[in-house]
Amino acid sequence: MSTSDATRTLAGDAPAQDAAPATTPAVRPRPALSRLPRYVAGKPPLVVEGLPSYKLSSNENPFGPVPAVREVLADWDAVHRYPETTSAELREVLGEFLGVPAEDVVTGAGSLGALNQLLGAFVGTGEDGAPDEVVHAWRSFEAYPISIGLSGGLSVPVPNRRDGSHDLEAMAAAVTDRTRVVLLCTPNNPTGPSLTTAQVEEFLAAVPRDVLVVIDEAYQEFQRRDDLVDGIDVYRRHPNVVVLRTFSKAHGLAGLRIGYSVAGQGITQYLRQSSPAFSVTDLAQRAAIASVRHYDQVAERVQRVVDERERVLAGLDALGWPYPETQANFVWLNLGEHSGRFAELCDAHALAVRRFGDEGVRVTVGEPEANTRFLELCAQFPHAPVL
């Protein structure tokens, strides 16, 4: 295109008719991209006349953040300023809250952002050109293979046990000299089971110390059993352990995208190096600080979800519907080939649930009215799940 034609185009005029057509070589993404699954977010509920709609597809906290957070959101007026890049004040608050050094905390855009920092620092292509390996359970958090592939690593999925729990023995056996990271999701999303302290300690004893073991605890606050692992306790004893947590679930800050990792400083120095600049907004930091400082109110909201979870599980028990033990804010229904029909039934009644192909359906514990409707639909459905 000539200079005069370019000027006409920028001004909104068409270029001269005799201009030669532009040719652009075909752009090609990285080959790995074509091999990666696509992340599928929980869909919103359909609008059905006469019925309030409820979203039980994304494991969100239906009761939202505490009032102090809402005050932060209403008063914040710094959209024209860059955030403080190290989240220094939030890390100090979290360090005091968790009883860990602030230097051991690295913030990210949700726990997934924190995981991506870790993969960016420790996983990629080796000097021999072969990919590093990351071992994880499957089915588990569906972003795992995507993030691993984008880092240049190779995803090594290990099937869950029939009850939806991690097969830790098989995961330990899958570790090779190319393994750099193992991901433990507890409670496991989407199936629900949690890991005990004894199970994790036994697993760590079987894994080389130069392999990073990530304990992903996005739903940690909803757990009530005393024998379940607490990643913060484990990281204190094992220098190769990294803990992931988030403000998206219990704190009700999913839309602000803020989470963090906790690890020894021999690890966090590299996580900070791989962190994208300004990835955690100032608004998210301020909201997270307010939420931690009012954690008693957060805990009250979490307990309301737990109470509703127990009511839902009791309702499923009354129907004779089996499900994997869940300590999270969701329940997994292993409906197999009937998963689509159940999701359609929920859609028809303004209830969004999360279907995973023909494997099963994950249902978030939501508002009391939504949970009641869910149980009513289960009672109508002719096919019970299996374990």
d(CA 155, CA 13): 51
- Do the domains 67-293 and 39-59+296-380 match in fold? no
* Tokens describing residue 204: 């760590």
d(CA 155, CA 131): 9
- Give the pTM: 0.92
Is the confidence at residue 33, as pLDDT, over 90?
A: no
Mean pLDDT on 292-313: 98
- Residue with the bigger pLDDT between 1 and 262: it is 262
| Model confidence band, residue 151 (pLDDT cutoffs 50, 70, 90) | very high
φ, ψ of residue 222 in degrees (nearest 5): -90, -5
Mean pLDDT on 174-191: 98
Is the confidence at residue 26, as pLDDT, over 80?
A: yes
Alpha helix (H) residue ranges in the chain:
3-10, 31-35, 67-75, 88-98, 110-122, 143-151, 168-173, 197-206, 231-237, 265-273, 282-293, 295-319, 339-348, 368-380
d(CA 14, CA 244): 54
Determine the pLDDT at residue 8.
Answer: 42
| Model confidence band, residue 3 (pLDDT cutoffs 50, 70, 90) | very low
**What tens digit of pLDDT does each residue of 119-139 get?**
999 999 988 999 999 999 999
Place of tokens 């955030």: 83
Mean pLDDT on 316-343: 98
Determine the pLDDT at residue 386.
Answer: 96
What Cα–Cα distance (Å) separates residue 112 from each residue in 15, 31, 144, 244, 273?
47, 23, 9, 8, 17
Q: What is the DSSP letter of 307?
A: H
Mean pLDDT on 364-375: 98
* Tokens describing residue 360: 């099963």
Tell me how crowded residue 228 is: count the other CB atoms within 10 A of its CB: 18
Mean pLDDT on 73-91: 96
Q: Percentage of residues in the chain with pLDDT exceeding 70?
A: 94
Question: Is 39-59+296-380 a CATH 3.90.1150.10 domain?
Answer: yes
Taking alpha carbons only, the member of 120, 122, 123 closest to residue 109 is: 120
Question: Is 67-293 a CATH 3.40.640.10 domain?
Answer: yes
Is the confidence at residue 168, as pLDDT, over 70?
A: yes
d(CA 121, CA 274): 6
Residue ranges per structural domain of the chain? 39-59+296-380, 67-293
Average pLDDT, whole number, for the chain? Answer: 94
Is the confidence at residue 371, as pLDDT, over 50?
A: yes
Is the confidence at residue 20, as pLDDT, over 60?
A: no
* Tokens describing residue 366: 């939501």
**What tens digit of pLDDT does each residue of 233-278 get?**
999 999 999 999 999 999 999 999 999 999 999 999 999 999 999 9
Determine the pLDDT at residue 29.
Answer: 87
Is the confidence at residue 21, as pLDDT, over 80?
A: no
Determine the pLDDT at residue 9.
Answer: 40
